[in-house]
Structure 1
Amino acid sequence: MEGYRANIGYRAPDFKLKNENGSQVSFHDWREDMQAVLVFIKAVDDRHTRELLIYLKDDAERIESREGRIIAVSYGNVRFNKRLVKELDLPFHILSDEGCDVIKTYGIFNEYDKLVGPAIFVINKGGIIRYIYTASNPEDVPEDTDILAALQGIVSPIMTEHV
């Protein structure tokens, strides 16, 4: 889907990927009647990736209290993702998108880096994208208040590109 970019107000593209245990997961089925905080991360075990995952881990309870679930996607293999989930004791899955097909489908693929920085999509129960955050640097992360507000529906749909 060259040139496509998932946009606010549109249905989130569905996908099937393997989780860190090697089990196939359908995003649509996994979401069920919950909102989703879909997080795209680099497949690099560095300080920035770990900080983002720990940041999300620390917010997981607050996200769940707003009927949201976190799911992360990286272009790393299943073994890489399993190691991160285990070492950081994450309460959410990291799915493997080794071919970057989902990253491309969501319009955040970068030819040089595959993914420049993290990207976060908040998707409501109806499967509609309500919030997008795309970073242009690995160390950039959105304010958790923005994610929580999007889950609560108390803000207009917003898109943030951190430059």
Structure 2
Amino acid sequence: MRQDYDEFTRRGAEIIALGPDGPRAYQRFWELENMPFIGMPDIRSKIADSYYQEVNLLKLGRMPAVFVIDKNGIIRYKHYASSMSDIPQNEEVLRVIDQINEERYE
């Protein structure tokens, strides 16, 4: 998502990444990596748990999950990963955002 961040923002979308680290560690990583989008610590997994994001210690912890939530708070797309590398292509997520934007103008 990082490499296509401009495409997401051009479509009026914002990316928010949750992570299990504490605020200082998370901020340090975000600054070192020069991440262009919002990063939020979710130490006790309260947010991740509310979206039923899986934690699998045998697969290195919290499994990736991607959600597109519209401006009304409705989940329009969800992808629960089966491995740490199971992340949808940006084009797939951008198509969902394009569809949502088209519906707004119909």
TM range (shorter): 0.7 to 0.9
The answer to whether the aligner puts 1:153 opposite 2:99 as a matched pair is yes
State the distance in 2 between where 1:129 and 1:118 align: 16
Q: Which runs of 5+ in 1 are unaligned?
A: 1-55, 155-163
Aligned partner of 1:44 in structure 2 is: none
Q: What percentage of aligned pairs have identical amino acids?
A: 29
The answer to whether the aligner puts 1:130 opposite 2:76 as a matched pair is yes
Instruction: Specify the code of the residue in structure 2 equivalent to 1:72.
Output: A
1:140, distance to aligned residue in structure 2 (A) = 1.8
Cα RMSD (Å) of the superposition?
1.6
The answer to whether the aligner puts 1:57 opposite 2:2 as a matched pair is yes
Aligned partner of 1:98 in structure 2 is: 43
The answer to whether the aligner puts 1:143 opposite 2:89 as a matched pair is yes
Give every structure 1 segment of 4 or more consecutive aligned residues whose post-TM-superposition deviation is greater than 3 Å: 111-114
Q: Which has the higher contact order (CA 8 A, sep 6+)?
A: 1
Aligned equivalent of 1:88, options 33, 36, 54: 33
Q: Which runs of 5+ in 2 are unaligned?
A: 101-106
Q: Which has the higher helix share?
A: 2
SS of the residue corresponding to residue 153 of structure 1 reads helix
Instruction: Specify the code of the residue in structure 1 equivalent to 2:45.
Output: C
Question: TM-score, with normalisation over the residues of structure 2?
Answer: 0.83
Q: Structure 1 residues 111, 139: CA separation in 2 closer, same or farther (over 3 Å shift)? A: closer
